[in-house]
Amino acid sequence: MYRFYTKSGMPYRHVHKIWLIMRLTTVILIATLMQVSAAGLAQKINLSKSNVPLKAVLKEIRTQSGYDFVYAEDIFDVAKPVNIQVKDAELQDVLKEIFKAQPLTFTISKTTVTIQPKEPTFLERLANRWASIDASGRVVDSENRPLPGASVKVKKTGKAVSTDKDGRFFLRGVEEGAVLVVSFIGYLTKEIKAAKELGDVVLELSTSKLDEVQVIAYGTTTQRLSTGNVTTIKTDVIEKQPVNNPLLALQGRVPGLFIEQATGFAGTGVKVRIQGQNSLNNGSDPLYVIDGVPYNSQLLPGGNPILGGSGAVSSGIPLYGNPLNFINPSDIESIDILKDADATAIYGSRAANGAILITTKKGKSGDTRVNVNLQSGWGSVPRKLDLMNSQQYLEMRREAMKNDNITEPTPGNFGDNDLNGNWDNSRYTDWQEELIGKTAVYQDINASISGGTGQTTYLLGTGYHKETNVFPGDYADQKASVHFNLNNTSLNQRFKVQLSASYMYDHNQLPYKDLTQTALTLAPVAPEIYQPDGSLNWEPDKFGNTTFFNPVGFTFDKFLTKTNNLTSNLLLSYELLPRLTLSSSFGYNNMVSNSVNKFLQQSTAPEFRQYVPRSTIFVDNNINSFSIEPQLNYHMTIGKGILEALLGATLLQNRNRGNQIGASGFSNDLVMDDIMSASTVTPASSVRSVYKYNALFGRLNYNWQNKYILNLTGRRDGSSRFGPKSRFHNFIAGGAAWVFSEEGFLKNNLSFISFGKLWASYGTTGSDQIGDYRYLSLLDPAYQVNPYQNIVLYKPSRITNPYLEWEETRKLQVGLELGFFSDKILLNSTYYRNHSSNQLSDYSLPLTTGFSNIIRNQTFKIRNSGWEVALSATAVQTQEFSWKPAFNITVPKSLLVDYPDILKSSASSTAIIGQPLSAERVYHFLGVDPETGIYQFADKSGNATSKPDPYSDKTVLVDFAPEFYGGFQNSLSCHGFQLDFLFSFVKQIARNYTFGILPAGAFREGLRNQPSSLFNRWQKPGDKATIQKYTTGFSLDQPYLDAAASDAGISDASYVRLKNVSLSWEIPKQWIKSVKLQGCNLFLQGQNLFTITNYSGLDPETKSSASLPTLRVITLGVKISL
Amino acid sequence: MKDRIITTIYILFFMLIVSSCKKWVDVDGPETSVGFKEAFSTDATAIGVITSLYADMGNQVLGQPAHLTSLSCIAGLSADELRYFNASGNSLLNAYYTNSLNAQIVGDPGYWGAIYAEMYVVNTAIEELNAATLLTPKVKQQLTGEAKFLRAFYYFYLTNLYGDVPLIIGTDYTVNARISKKPKADIYKQVLLDLTEAQNLLSEYYLQGDGITVYPAEAQERVRPNKWVATALLARVYLYLNNWTEAEAQASKIIDGQSQFHLESLDKVFLKSSKEAIWQVLPTKGYLNTTDADLFVLMSTGPSGNNPVYLNERLVESFEDNDERLSSWVGSVSANGKTYYYPNKYKIIRSSEPSPPITEYSTVMRLAEQFIIRAEARVQLGNQSGAVSDIDEIRKRAGLPLLESISSGLQKKDLLAAILKERRMELFTEWGHRWLDLKRLNLIDQVMSTATPEKNQGSTWKSYQQYYPLSIAELQKNTNLIQVPGY
């Protein structure tokens, strides 16, 4: 039969014996202590008692007989009252009579009577066996839905079963009245007395964060039982943020997850890194999975460059925008971020950089519910740079001319328009106000209907979102979306089907040019934008030639992208045998985007229009992927633990098709959307690629009484991205957790610790994020408008490497999780160390090879390590008021290690061994030489020089990676009011706007306004200045460039940002009863409200002053449920 | 119904386990590309690979120091032919112009990277052609000739721009990434070897796009190299090597042996039908004829960001009175109170039509240069009268008095000076002739030490600036490479 072992490794039956011995000792001890003496001997006994306690009867007999009685005190617990009528009876007979009905027996020796419990006879034992019962029942949630897989355990014996698909359980041979412990992930554990028919056991949802459901690869868990590093963000957090990309709702909330928005445009690129960058320059994106179906991490080429990228390039072509922009944040139930190997290894090759699992909303059974959420608001650029005014600007320009010995400003319309009389010098325009100062309008409406009966539930949702932009002109991003989810379970509960789909149509009308940089650099004396009649002003000179290339002209060029995105998933599952379930998911994703990028003639100065034909670039992209994932799930009880086994396979195919076609020669502006109206059509590029991927995977999870948990996963992957010889690779991982708070010694002694878990995981994941067909040597056709002798031309696209292999990341993570005072304070700390080796990387080649790089596996390793700490608390929780603060911080560190052949490698110039990937060497800036007025730098021996040697004098090492980042969040609620706010913070450095981006005080790129801080310049020998003497030519160009490449060009870009504020008020129920509303919430939300930073630039997040900074958005809204 | 679903799942699952994994990850190559081996197994794709190199020459942006084509502008700036318009704000062009290049500013790919990129195609083509079995033999022979010619053409320019350079004739990137420089003489050895082979392999006729068919005389397009193109380059190379006999012999093969070449009137030299052309390339970009006209021809408003260069006044002043080339090949505009001159050999500017009629082809080599080459060789060989008659062919066409009438008292030195001047006036802003000639004749220090300060106040000429530097990145990536001396 079963063997039970205790933790000390001793067989269970031995323990039982010890227990018996101990009981016997007690009996003897008590017997000795009993001061019972014999009063007399061998006398006849007379008794007449009715319903008298045994103890009293024995006392009477002792008095009459003088015999001593030896017994353990506890025998009276089971003794029955005595009825006896005897006269002059023998002691032996009397005792026989008394003990006949008692579960006790006696022995007489000399003058002592010893009383013991009766040994049961075989028959009695048999009868007792029949007395135990078979307990059965059904475990359900508060809405009477069955909870399959719940655990039912006999507290005393540890015997456990789990519920079937209907939530039913059957426990054989339980003592009636024994205590059963019923538990289920995400619910409060309940203890009940065993009975034959227990009926429905209702489990209440747990309110502890530890018991919230976490979605993991091919399953679910909770923070309490997880053996890996998983963070979950729920819909209540997402819906408080007026963002159009769900990823932006995660900023500052997840330790180990660094998210950076590229620009302030709707549809912006978003860079996502989980625990750092694991790959030198290929694929550091996490795996996105929506309802079990893999989703694209990048868009195809051809997006609008002003959106900025999401941190990836494809064959040297930057990819703009972000695919998660086409997912409605309101459709999302939860987002789970999987960080360590234990959580991600089952995704094998694709999860080296972690995984982000998105679960969409599902219906709940019950009455039909309607939710409507309306909001509208405003967005604006939150910060302006302090630039020179007209007077300062002109002074700077004149001085620069003087320093270069230029007496006359260059005449003509391409000359120095600001000084040569073409522009009115008395003008002043705040170009930041004119060009990026508008208020964007934000509108959002989401509605959903959900409901269902026991067997079928459904949810239908729809949304509309509109966001305009801060530039002059008419631009808007509009999104319409539909989401549905349908669940059905067969009557016998064995067959289940779930269908969910989300569809979004996005209509994003953007300009082609970002005016932000123009707003910062346009001369303040530049002419008016509009003429009195409202038309654009090109400020012609006396010859009629344009002197002002009006930036607003660019707003005539329109970039319209229409995207249709469908993600859908069908999940079928069937219980083949009790505890054995076969299921399969069928996923399909189709993203079609069509862009029309029109260049109208109005954007060009009038006299050049004859040379610039109207032209349109048409971009059509189609990403099409399907996946099938059959799985077998088995769970059984082994000992006091539950074993779950999973076996599955993945088939995935991804097809990308894209075309970019240029068309020009349209006869008027109205027909520019129609390619047939173009006189010339030029194919610009095309993408056709197929990616196939398959895998076999398995997982074993053993949970011993929620105390010891072991999780093992393995996967064998094949990817079409590698040469035929190295397509397959194995990945394995293991994780273990010890919930030490379940141990008795802690429960009894340190009860203020309500939860304690120590976990560790180790394993391998891989990456094949290199783009398709990289192992083939290929020639691409090159299009010619005017074909050379009518020949189709072919050009080599890259140098070949047929030996490409998988990149591998080994992840080691250890975590300690603690809960104090009934989980009122939760502390979660993790140390991670990821080693990425066999790096798939662009190995840079000298140009003599014909190419600047080749992709190949490289020997160096990248180590990403760091600490993640998250602390959350329920500081105050009363009926009226609650306050819940939460804090998280991540201290990452990335190093390039193990690079034995660095000297031979062509990467030696960029990567520095033993230093972070993001490190660079720069000059040390020594300020302006007071004698010459030229910047000085320290050479390698520390001496000042104005001509530093780029090979040897770059002595300062700077690292652009964040030093630490995190967030501090507070939730307050009081009388129906709820206030949430989040501060996010980052400590980092970046290139500043003063030196790092533009040469300060130089005009190498034409007339440019500059920050007013640059006014402190050198003018004459002896001046102590921060800026070298102004110049307009190239005479001092190199020192300007060197200053940009020095530590002066880099400065602190740390910031603390009030990322999100949400204030909501729930209208009291009695007020809305009359209008038949279930609930009504009024709310005010704000995003990026203010930023505390020393950064000299527009935005320390985008770190760019050439792109639109993240906007400050404030919205007002109402949420109604019917 | 339900049973059927369940059966389907069963079957799917079973299939997955049983079917071999390998099959599921096999993909065909992309529909959009072709492999190297396949490319050299059909005539059309093999021709497409080589022809892309010619198309490149007709397409490059002249204002960017990368592909050889732009030497017409960039080497003109480095020498004393062109001036750079300061307000255009391009520090790299400015450095080429003021002879103040350095390893930091030069950037990649530059001529170095661009030429070696094409060299890779040529070397791969030579390897693949050598192994190819499915090509039509005539096509295979012609393409091999073209590839060898191109290799010589590229090395000629590489060594003249950079001095000593690595000699790369294979395709193994591990070797080419660690390669070191070879002396100039070794490079020329390879150039001569390739050109002699090319001369033998190439067709005598100008061929059409199929690599076999000869153009009918009336519709001839001289856009693929043939035997005479290789011969013309060979004449130039011998001249550079001071092998006067061979230079004269090769030039004579073209001048005397071929009636298909003759000097055209000035207005017809650069037209697509020019009989003076030995090799032209066809512009394949939209809206344009040649990129030369696009860059050089100034608008009425004068130089600008789009047209940042104009002719150096010293060059314009050097034209003799009545030189018809001044009126025919030099244009001028008056803007901002100043007269700007510009090269006007190519005249058709950007059109608003995407495919305007193309009447001008970019001329890489032409007969006039062969006359000048032969004249110089003949002077060196002591054949003064032959030299004078060659030069007079050029002067006659330019409407100038013939040297014949005034040459009786001329010394060899004077005659060489006259030839050099004729070179300058004839070949200005064509493929960097002036910049290369100054170096070849060791005149560069003498000429540039006055020209450089004149171009930009404060600039001085340093002799090492006659070769362009390699970028820092290139030197760091291949530690066996040494920088051009002086930088």
Q: Looking at the complex, does the CB of residue B92 fall below 8 Å from at least one CB of chain A?
A: no
Tell me the pLDDT band of B127, cut-offs 50, 70 and 90: very high
- B350 contacts on A by Cβ (under 8 Å): 611
Res A127: pLDDT: 54
Instruction: Answer whether residue A1077 shows pLDDT above 60.
Output: yes
CA distances from A529 to A385, A429, A458, A993, B111 (A): 21, 10, 55, 26, 42
E strand map for A238-306: 257-261, 270-274, 287-290, 293-295
Helices B244-255, B227-240: crossing angle, 10 deg rounding: 150
Distance in Å, alpha carbon of A561 to nearest chain B alpha carbon: 24
Q: Looking at the complex, does the CB of residue A627 fall below 8 Å from at least one CB of chain B?
A: no
Distance in Å, alpha carbon of A834 to nearest chain B alpha carbon: 28
Q: Looking at the complex, does the CB of residue B66 fall below 8 Å from at least one CB of chain A?
A: no
Tokens of A339: 């960080």
Using CB atoms, pick whichever of B25, B177, B355 lies closest to residue A680: B355
Look up residue A71 and give its amino acid: Y
Tell me the pLDDT band of A130, cut-offs 50, 70 and 90: low
Who wins on pLDDT, B20 or B215? B215
Before B109, cis peptide (omega within 30)?
A: yes
Quote the CA–CA distance of A503 and B129 in Å, as a whole number.
53
Res A128: pLDDT: 54
CA distances from A200 to A136, A137, A599, A627, A1114 (A): 10, 6, 69, 39, 48
Distance in Å, alpha carbon of B226 to nearest chain A alpha carbon: 15
Tell me the pLDDT band of A35, cut-offs 50, 70 and 90: very low
CB–CB of A468/A452 below 8 Å?
A: no
> Percent of chain B, pLDDT > 70?
93
| Mean pLDDT of the A1019-1030 span | 89
| Mean pLDDT of the A265-277 span | 90
The answer to whether B336 contacts A1034, with C-beta atoms less than 8 Å apart, is no
| Mean pLDDT of the A327-351 span | 86
Which letter, b or e, does each residue of A571-587 get, where b requires 16 or more Cβ atoms within 10 Å of its Cβ? bbbbbeeebebbbbbbb
Instruction: Answer whether residue B20 shows pLDDT above 50.
Output: no
Query: How many Cβ atoms sit within 10 Å of the Cβ of residue A871?
Result: 16
Q: Looking at the complex, does the CB of residue B197 fall below 8 Å from at least one CB of chain A?
A: no
Q: Nearest-CA residue of chain B relative to A723?
A: B26
Who wins on pLDDT, A1075 or A121? A1075
Instruction: Answer whether residue B470 shows pLDDT above 90.
Output: yes
Closest by Cα among A585, A671, A654, A734 to A219: A585
Tell me the pLDDT band of A8, cut-offs 50, 70 and 90: very low
Res B407: pLDDT: 62
Each residue of A159-196: pLDDT tens digit?
778 788 778 888 887 877 788 888 887 787 888 888 87
- Worst-scoring range by mean pLDDT, A151-160, A460-469, A636-645, B374-383? A151-160
Quote the CA–CA distance of A45 and A1032 in Å, as a whole number.
131
Instruction: Answer whether residue A961 shows pLDDT above 70.
Output: yes
Residue-averaged pLDDT of chain B: 90
Instruction: Answer whether residue A7 shows pLDDT above 80.
Output: no
Who wins on pLDDT, A189 or A890? A890
DSSP labels, A420-472? SSSS-TT----HHHHHH-PPEEEEEEEEEEEEE-SSEEEEEEEEEEEEE-SSS
| Mean pLDDT of the B12-22 span | 53
- Worst-scoring range by mean pLDDT, B135-144, B178-187, B304-313? B304-313
- Worst-scoring range by mean pLDDT, A116-130, A274-288, B351-365? A116-130
pTM of the model: 0.77
Look up residue B393 and give its amino acid: E
Tell me the pLDDT band of B337, cut-offs 50, 70 and 90: confident
ipTM of the modeled complex: 0.91
| Mean pLDDT of the A532-556 span | 88
- A842 contacts on B by Cβ (under 8 Å): none
Q: Looking at the complex, does the CB of residue A544 fall below 8 Å from at least one CB of chain B?
A: no
Res A23: pLDDT: 52
Quote the CA–CA distance of A343 and A231 in Å, as a whole number.
11
Tell me the pLDDT band of A122, cut-offs 50, 70 and 90: low
Using CA atoms in the order A241, A244, A250, A256, what is the torsion angle rounded to 10 degrees? -160
Interface of B with A in 437-466 (CB under 8 A): 457-458
Res B242: pLDDT: 96
| Mean pLDDT of the A53-60 span | 82
Tell me the pLDDT band of A433, cut-offs 50, 70 and 90: very high
Look up residue A1091 and give its amino acid: T
Instruction: Answer whether residue A545 shows pLDDT above 60.
Output: yes
Residue with tokens 């993203």: A591
- Worst-scoring range by mean pLDDT, A301-305, A733-737, B206-210? A301-305
Residue with tokens 């500043």: A992
Tell me the pLDDT band of A341, cut-offs 50, 70 and 90: confident
The answer to whether B47 contacts A796, with C-beta atoms less than 8 Å apart, is no
| Mean pLDDT of the A859-878 span | 89
- A582 contacts on B by Cβ (under 8 Å): 9-10, 13
Q: Nearest-CA residue of chain A relative to B111?
A: A847
| Mean pLDDT of the B284-293 span | 88
Q: Looking at the complex, does the CB of residue B357 fall below 8 Å from at least one CB of chain A?
A: no
- B224 contacts on A by Cβ (under 8 Å): 789
> Percent of chain A, pLDDT > 90?
34
Using CB atoms, pick whichever of B31, B51, B91 lies closest to residue A793: B51
Query: How many Cβ atoms sit within 10 Å of the Cβ of residue A438?
Result: 18
Residue-averaged pLDDT of chain A: 85
CB–CB of A113/A106 below 8 Å?
A: yes
DSSP letter assigned to residue A119:
P
Tell me the pLDDT band of A81, cut-offs 50, 70 and 90: confident
Res A858: pLDDT: 77
Using CA atoms in the order B123, B128, B130, B134, what is the torsion angle rounded to 10 degrees? -150
Helices B412-427, B367-381: crossing angle, 10 deg rounding: 170
DSSP letter assigned to residue A1030:
P
Quote the CA–CA distance of B276 and B262 in Å, as a whole number.
5
The answer to whether B87 contacts A687, with C-beta atoms less than 8 Å apart, is no
Distance in Å, alpha carbon of B409 to nearest chain A alpha carbon: 48
- A1034 contacts on B by Cβ (under 8 Å): 91, 94-95, 98
Each residue of B389-402: pLDDT tens digit?
999 999 999 999 99
Res A1013: pLDDT: 85
Distance in Å, alpha carbon of A1058 to nearest chain B alpha carbon: 41
Each residue of A601-643: pLDDT tens digit?
888 888 888 878 889 999 999 999 999 988 999 988 888 888 9
Q: Looking at the complex, does the CB of residue B173 fall below 8 Å from at least one CB of chain A?
A: yes
Using CB atoms, pick whichever of B13, B54, B337 lies closest to residue A411: B337
- Worst-scoring range by mean pLDDT, A87-101, A450-464, A510-524, A1076-1090? A87-101
Who wins on pLDDT, A143 or A64? A64
- A844 contacts on B by Cβ (under 8 Å): 473, 477
| Mean pLDDT of the A761-773 span | 84
Res A2: pLDDT: 36
CA distances from A36 to A71, A90, A995 (A): 11, 21, 101
Res B319: pLDDT: 95
Quote the CA–CA distance of A69 and A393 in Å, as a whole number.
114
| Mean pLDDT of the A1087-1108 span | 89
